[in-house]
Structure 1
Amino acid sequence: MSDMNHYASVTIELISGLVILFIITKILGKTQFSQITPFDFISALVLGELVGNAIYDHNTKLREIVFAAIIWGLLIYLIEFITQKFTKARRLLEGETSIVINKGKINYHVLKKSRMDINQLQSLLRQQGYFSIKEVEYAILETNGLVSVLPKAEFDTPKVGDFGLPLKPVHITVTLILDGEIVYNNLKKYGLKEKWLMDELAKQGISDYKNVLYAEWKENEDVYAIEYDHKTS
């Protein structure tokens, strides 16, 4: 096989592998990324290995990789279906949540069972914004390895309802400009006009949207725009 044919073959296999993985992950859903369980981790490794074989093992034919990936994807889909229908299977395959801090006290037995030490627990708590264990009333170790925290009352963040203040409607923030390009889909979706956007930028002394790194808008608020820092670009 000539070098040109070899590179062409590798290119085709890479593109095919990308398409296969994309289709499988779309079928399995977004939880493959946001809530990775031990089983999902194994699944990702196997899928990666299948595509790797297509690239580096020249004796393995592309149709064999496609077939193996499809079968594996079907197995994962079947297992996901089973975990949704049967609680016991869900516990076996996805694991269970564990209360590592209960009523302000560390549950050492649960920590030991989860193969976690105090330093790891402190690190996970800090990632949630709690820098002292004494601030935590409950901490739950989720199946994806993250910790959910319920703080003690004196360390909890006060809410609007706690002060009896009138409630205001909540609006989503909309991205209007990204990397010097107008996001026309968002303009159209929220009934906004390009001229209106230009007028809003002009109020801030910005004459060309291409000079804007990022701009966002929220209903009943002005457009918030960040220009490129030409000194560092």
Structure 2
Amino acid sequence: MFNKGGYYRENKLIGETMNETSVTIVRGVIAFATLFIYCRLLGKEQIKQLTFFDYISGITIGSIAATLTTNLNNRPWPEFVGLTTWVLLAYFLQWLTLRSRQAAKYVDGEPVVIIMNGQLMEEAMHKARLKTGDLLGLLRLKDVFDLKQVEFAVYEKNGNLSVLKKSEFQHVTPGDLQLPVKYQGISTELIYDGVVIEQNLKKVQLTRQWLENELKKLGIKSYEDVFLANLNTQGELYVDTYKDQLIHLTNFSDYEGPN
């Protein structure tokens, strides 16, 4: 016998699910668009340039945006107001730190000299809450494995370490040897993802025929086989194809160390 009650309950459940899905999609689009606009407002600061407070603020703003999308039990307006409030406060702090050096020092902190004239500054390390093991790790990232090579080291406010080696351990430059050098500017992309960038090709006053001939010299038959092609200021063409022919990929975990 046909159960009308079960049929209606099932239809009601499907209707509620479809309604929740529609509401979630709409709120998600609104949150995404709002967050995109606010991120453009706050600027293009890179992750490695963020201070700890900037990092926490970014996580909080993203969390509020996620709640705005998925928490259907709450009205969206209070969460939207909360998201806007956080963004405006972050924008105000950016404006304040640009206007006032004292405010910037208080909000963002200051660089700390960790090594001076080859000597470790223990009090500065304690103030920056930097452990010796962490300092040695940061030095290794700068290709420094011996503290004796370091003249100055500054612990930046974003957590990076700037290192000045002693004169005898610094790399020799062409200027030191008074050698002539060629100008090195920015390379120009001619092909990206299999597509020729026509405006860049015209900019460097070259033709498709020239580009085709250069690719043929490298054994490349079609633009579609090229992932990236750059032309440097010396007129040299760098080409990377999708099918890279690698004989063997080195696995660094196989290195057993010195015998």
Distance change (3 Å), C-alpha of 1:117 and 1:145: same
Larger radius of gyration: 2
Partner of 1:74: 88
Partner of 1:167: 181
- Superposed structure 1 runs of 4+ greater than 6 Å apart: none
Asked if the contact 1:25–1:32 (Cα under 8 Å) also holds between the matched residues in 2, the reply is no
Partner of 1:18: 32
Partner of 1:84: 98
Count of equivalent residues:
232
Query: Shift of the alpha carbon at 1:220?
Result: 2.2
What's the TM-score, normalizing by structure 2?
Answer: 0.81
Distance change (3 Å), C-alpha of 1:2 and 1:182: farther
* Unmatched segments (≥5 aa) in structure 2: 1-14, 247-259
- Residue correspondence of structure 1 range 136-215 to structure 2 within 5 A: 136-184=150-198, 186-215=200-229
Asked if the contact 1:201–1:223 (Cα under 8 Å) also holds between the matched residues in 2, the reply is no
Question: Is 2:234 aligned against 1:220?
Answer: yes
Partner of 1:117: 131
Q: What SS is found at the alignment partner of 2:176?
A: helix
1:140-170 per-residue CA deviation (whole Å, 9 max, x = no partner) reads 1111111111111111121121111123222
Asked if the contact 2:42–2:91 (Cα under 8 Å) also holds between the matched residues in 1, the reply is yes
Asked if the contact 2:24–2:72 (Cα under 8 Å) also holds between the matched residues in 1, the reply is no
Question: Is 2:147 aligned against 1:97?
Answer: no
Partner Cα distance (1:184, 1:122) in 2: 49
Partner of 1:7: 21
Query: Shift of the alpha carbon at 1:218?
Result: 0.4
* Unmatched segments (≥5 aa) in structure 1: none
Asked if the contact 1:32–1:40 (Cα under 8 Å) also holds between the matched residues in 2, the reply is no
- Same amino acid, percent of matched pairs: 32
The CA RMSD over aligned residues, in Å, is: 2.2
Asked if the contact 1:200–1:222 (Cα under 8 Å) also holds between the matched residues in 2, the reply is no
Which has the larger displacement, 92-101 or 64-73? 64-73
- Residue correspondence of structure 1 range 22-37 to structure 2 within 5 A: 22-31=36-45, 33-37=47-51
Partner Cα distance (2:216, 2:183) in 1: 28
Partner Cα distance (1:224, 1:117) in 2: 43
Partner Cα distance (1:229, 1:43) in 2: 42
